[in-house]
């Protein structure tokens, strides 16, 4: 199935060409046939070359940030299964995910991408592992991120700053620190992005902003670094909130928002805030030690990691996302915004809420 998917466009192109050749033959253009056949073979060969992938050998090292849970944890296990030397940065060495990675023989080291000292120590560790294992740093996977759900006005400055610091500045910091190694080893940088980058959604306005910013940054450095033999790729992994820790601290975040809220805002939002926070807190999952279920994530990721001529963006998405995101792009703004609300399925701001908030003003 994997190979059918990979070579599907080539199969379609070849089939079309053979049908055309058959048609030409029947019409009596027999002299065109050898030339057309050669062209067909040439195009197929070119396609195979463009789709070819690097091989992972024993000296192929991958650095991944944010490996204590979710996608980073799963990618660390997956890269090890592929045969790479994996160096996993984790925020907390004591987390169940970190302990499991250690047991699996993965190099695990503490890393807070927002702290200069932590990033420097981690880089020293990477250097030591590469020297000891005689390995090359072939890829840095910028995965670590923080997402706070809640309307923009509710989010505290600390929460806004945290998202900017981890998702954007932290990603830049670790990349900058590892650049000498990446350049020396002609490595690759994968930036984990999100659908929120192109279609920002309500409730995660700040997070969407950080993902759009980090994608813009990746697009710019892709061109800057091309001349040094360094490739930069954005990877949009799809949705797996139920299987990662990304919403794990949501109820604490809502408590902080409530504490910081002004009396005027509390009166205005009434029990809408309570309904909203209850709904999104209930979606929180934590401590899952299974690899992510969606095999499409890993298939798409392998392309981002290994394609010799990588695309700028690799996207894995469920059909629901494909349908909604196409509709967001092609519908007029008023309809698009309604569709976005349907897509997010947040608790509604009802007529009763409107009535209550206007009587209290
Ligand atoms: N979940 C989704 O549906 C989804 C969809 C699209 C894109 N993504 C992206 O996928 C990536 C992984 O998300 P996930 O869902 O797997 O979330 P996750 O389970 O929360 O993983 C994020 C990891 O980053 C770590 N981290 C947080 N702050 C850090 C810091 N300052 N320095 C280093 N590491 C830090 C977290 O550690 P702690 O757990 O110890 O805090 C956690 O292990 C993110 O870039 C996210 O934007 C996720």
- % of the chain beyond a pLDDT of 90: 79
Q: Which two tokens stand for residue 53?
A: 């992938």
Within a domain: 354? no
For residue 127, pLDDT over 70 is answered with yes
Question: What is the overall mean pLDDT for the chain?
Answer: 93
Q: How far is the CA of 245 from the centre of ligand 1 (A)?
A: 7
Are 77 and 201 found together in one domain?
yes
Are 11 and 138 found together in one domain?
no
**Ligand 1: which atom is nearest the Cα of residue 118?**
32
Ligand 1 binding site (Cβ under 6 Å of any ligand atom)? 65-66, 68-72, 91-92, 95, 111-114, 143-146, 166, 170, 192, 194, 237, 239-241, 244-246
What per-residue confidence (pLDDT) applies to 283? 86
Q: How far is the CA of 246 from the centre of ligand 1 (A)?
A: 6
Task: Please choose from 91, 211, 248 the residue to mutate so as to test ligand 1's pocket, defined by most ligand atoms within 8 A of CB.
Answer: 91
Over residues 78-102, the mean pLDDT reads 97
Are 92 and 206 found together in one domain?
yes
Write the CATH number for 117: 3.40.50.720
**What digits encode the pLDDT tens for the residues 33-72?**
777 777 777 877 787 777 799 999 879 999 999 999 999 9
Are 162 and 15 found together in one domain?
no
Are 226 and 90 found together in one domain?
yes
Distance CA 214, CA 193 (A): 8
Within a domain: 348? no
| Structure-token match 């005689």, residue found | 134
Task: Please choose from 63, 65, 71, 77 the residue to mutate so as to test ligand 1's pocket, defined by most ligand atoms within 8 A of CB.
Answer: 71
Distance CA 338, CA 356 (A): 23
**Ligand 1: which atom is nearest the Cα of residue 67?**
43
Number of domains in the chain: 2
Over residues 204-218, the mean pLDDT reads 98
Are 41 and 118 found together in one domain?
no
Q: How far is the CA of 69 from the centre of ligand 1 (A)?
A: 7
For residue 175, pLDDT over 70 is answered with yes
Are 114 and 251 found together in one domain?
yes
Q: How far is the CA of 143 from the centre of ligand 1 (A)?
A: 6
52, 299, 202, 282 alpha-carbon torsion, rounded to 10°: -160
**What digits encode the pLDDT tens for the residues 11-30?**
777 788 778 888 888 888 77
What per-residue confidence (pLDDT) applies to 337? 96
Are 68 and 46 found together in one domain?
no
Within a domain: 116? yes
For residue 287, pLDDT over 70 is answered with no
Are 162 and 14 found together in one domain?
no
Within a domain: 132? yes
Q: How far is the CA of 196 from the centre of ligand 1 (A)?
A: 15
Within a domain: 125? yes
What per-residue confidence (pLDDT) applies to 4? 66
What per-residue confidence (pLDDT) applies to 44? 76
What per-residue confidence (pLDDT) applies to 308? 96
Over residues 230-254, the mean pLDDT reads 95
Q: How far is the CA of 91 from the centre of ligand 1 (A)?
A: 10
Within a domain: 361? no
Q: 147 Cβ partners below 8 Å, 6+ apart?
A: 163, 204, 207, 246, 247
Q: Which two tokens stand for residue 273?
A: 């805030």
For residue 329, pLDDT over 80 is answered with yes
* CA-closest candidate to residue 150, choices 229, 235, 2, 258: 258
Q: How far is the CA of 170 from the centre of ligand 1 (A)?
A: 12
Q: 237 or 8, which is more confident?
A: 237
Residue nearest to atom 37 of ligand 1 (CA): 91
Predicted confidence band of residue 253 (pLDDT cuts 50, 70, 90) = very high
Are 70 and 12 found together in one domain?
no
* CA-closest candidate to residue 149, choices 252, 271, 260: 252
The residue range of the domain holding 170 is 60-323+331-336
Are 69 and 151 found together in one domain?
yes
Angle at which helix 116-133 crosses helix 171-184, to 10 degrees, equals: 30
For residue 3, pLDDT over 70 is answered with no
Are 98 and 34 found together in one domain?
no
Distance CA 132, CA 170 (A): 27
Length of the chain, please? 361
Within a domain: 13? yes
**Ligand 1: which atom is nearest the Cα of residue 239?**
3
Predicted confidence band of residue 117 (pLDDT cuts 50, 70, 90) = very high
């Amino acid at each position: 199935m994997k190979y059918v998917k990979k070579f599907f466009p080539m199969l379609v192109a070849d089939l079309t060409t053979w049908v055309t050749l058959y048609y030409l033959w029947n019409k009596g253009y027999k002299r065109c046939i050898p030339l057309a056949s050669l062209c067909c073979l040439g195009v197929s060969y070119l396609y195979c070359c463009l789709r070819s992938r690097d091989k992972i050998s024993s000296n192929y090292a991958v650095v991944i940030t944010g490996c204590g849970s979710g996608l980073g944890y799963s990618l660390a296990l997956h890269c090890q299964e592929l045969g790479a030397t994996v160096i996993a940065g984790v925020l907390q060495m004591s987390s169940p995910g970190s302990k499991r990675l250690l047991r699996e023989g993965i190099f695990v080291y503490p890393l807070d991408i927002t702290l200069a000292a932590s990033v420097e120590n981690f880089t020293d560790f990477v250097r030591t592992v590469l020297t000891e294992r005689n390995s090359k740093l072939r890829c840095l996977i910028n995965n670590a991120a923080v997402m706070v759900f809640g309307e923009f006005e509710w989010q505290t400055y600390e929460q806004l700053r945290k998202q900017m610091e981890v998702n954007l500045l932290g990603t830049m910091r670790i990349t900058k620190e590892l650049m000498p190694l990446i350049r020396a080893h002609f490595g690759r940088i994968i930036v984990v992005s999100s659908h929120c980058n192109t279609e920002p959604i309500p409730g995660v306005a700040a997070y969407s902003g950080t993902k759009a910013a980090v994608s813009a940054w990746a697009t710019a450095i892709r061109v800057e670094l091309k001349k040094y033999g360094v490739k930069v790729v954005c990877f949009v992994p799809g949705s797996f909130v139920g299987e990662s820790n990304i919403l794990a601290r949501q109820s604490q975040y809502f408590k902080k928002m409530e504490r910081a809220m002004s009396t005027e805002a509390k009166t205005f939002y009434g029990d809408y805030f309570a309904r909203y926070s209850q709904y999104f807190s209930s979606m929180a999952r934590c401590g899952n030690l299974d690899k992510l279920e969606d095999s499409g994530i890993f298939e798409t990721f392998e392309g981002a990691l290994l394609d010799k001529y990588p695309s700028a963006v690799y996207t894995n998405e469920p059909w629901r996302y494909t349908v909604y995101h196409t509709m967001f792009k092609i519908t007029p703004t008023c309809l698009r915004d309604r569709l976005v609300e349907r897509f997010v399925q947040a608790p509604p701001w009802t007529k009763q809420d409107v009535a209550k908030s206007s009587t209290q003003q």
